[in-house]
Amino acid sequence: MRRVTKVLTAKHRPRALLGLFLSFLAVFPIYFMVVGSISPVETFLRRDLGEILLPRAFVGDHMAVVAFDPVFLRFALNSLIVATATTFVSIAVATLGAYSLARLRFPGGEVIGRFALLTYTVPSVLLLIPLFKIVVTLNLANNLIALVITYTTFSVPFCLWLLRSYFQSLPRDLEEAAMVDGASRLGALFRVILPLSVPGIVATALFAFILAWNEFLFALVFTTTSDVKTLPIGVSTTFTAEQTATDWAVAMSASTLSAVPIFIIVLILQRGLVRGITAGAVKG
């Protein structure tokens, strides 16, 4: 026990190696997925671990099957529409709210901001039946708008807090100078603050995009026809024939392709993603 803890707390070079090893453990299922999607189908049959890790050949058949499947493309397009719309609406709503919380102090504002965060502790299943009834009443079943409104609500509190801290980091003098020059509050927000906040807004927008791209439960209940299904529901209902090795290769291709936008966002944001994801839980 003593030796273990010593290794854990003392400054050590092997830490880097340990870190890399553990990160491999964390990523290996995703690595398997990506490699599996371009492996020959025999790899799935032979179960040779070496071959699964490093296939002898790469093939694009399964990728092509999925990428040119009009059904899959429809799901992908729906996901793209929903996630993009959610992102834009969330940023619009959260920017206004965040500016209000950052600069225009009024009684109750702080409390509202905190209660907005409580949204994340509400079990989604709790909202299912009433929301389903509303959606049916408003004739929004099998309509992507229902998803956009729901996802926006769940991404706004997070965006609100990220943007608020971003706005707070900007000096007040900038707006005050603009206002002395005759700009209104909103004018100062749109002409001075927003242009300066583009990096923060982009990072926040990508969080909203991830949330909408990944959402499963509400899509499961609000969409039943395949012309409006998003990737999570579409792929998991269409590509699940787990009978043959080919099915598995195709399923891995569909999974990999569905995760591509996420991989791209991770590459773009890198440390910013890590900071954003842990924001709020640790102050400072």
Partner 1 sequence: MRWGIRGLSLRNSERLLGIGLLFPTVALIAAVVLYPMISTMWLAFFKESLLRPNDPAEFVGIDNFVRLVSDGGFWKVVINSVVLTAGAVAGEVIIGMIIALAVNASYRGRGLFRTLNILPWVIPSFVTAFVWVWLLHPQFGPVNALLQLLHIIEDPIAWLSEGVTAMISLIAVYTWKGLPWTFLVLLAGLQTIPEDWYEAAKVDGASAWQMFWHITVPALRYVLVIVLVLRTIWTFNSFDMVYLLTGGGPARATLTLPMQVFNAGFREYNVGMSSAIAAVMVVLVVLLSLIMLRVGWVEEESQR
Q: Is 156 or 178 the residue whose CB approaches partner 1 more closely?
A: 156
Is residue 211 a contact partner of residue 277, using CB atoms and an 8 Å limit? no
Q: With binding defined as CB under 8 A, does residue 122 bind partner 1? A: yes
Task: Give the number of other Cβ atoms within 10 Å of residue 107's Cβ.
Answer: 6
Stretch that binds partner 1, among 60-68, 123-131, 168-176, 195-203 (CB under 8 A): 123-131
- Least separation in angstroms between residue 185's CB and partner 1 is 6
Segment lying near partner 1 (by CB under 8 A), choices 66-74, 167-175, 196-204, 246-254: 246-254
Taking CB under 8 A as the binding criterion, the range among 48-56, 62-70, 166-174, 192-200 that sits at the site for partner 1 is 48-56
Q: Are 150 and 89 in contact (CB under 8 A)?
A: no
Which 53-82 residues touch partner 1, going by CB under 8 A? none
Could you say which residues in the range 27-46 bind partner 1, by CB under 8 A? Answer: 27, 29-30, 32-33, 36, 44-45
Binding of residue 180 to partner 1 (CB under 8 A): no
Burial 233-268 (b: 16+ CB within 10 A, else e): bbbbebbeeeeeeebbbbbbbbbbbbbebeeebeee
Helix axes 245-269, 70-103, angle to 10 degrees: 30
Token reading at 238: 């269409």
- Token match 């998803």: residue? 147
Q: How far is CA 229 from the centre of its chain?
A: 18
**Comparison of 196 and 238: residue with beta carbon closer to partner 1:** 238
**Is 58 in a helix, a strand, or coil?**
coil
Q: Which is nearer to partner 1, 198 or 281 (CB)?
A: 281
The nearest distance, CB 228 to partner 1, in angstroms, is: 17
* 217 lies in the binding site for partner 1 (CB under 8 A): yes
* Residue 181 interacts with partner 1 (CB under 8 A): yes or no: no
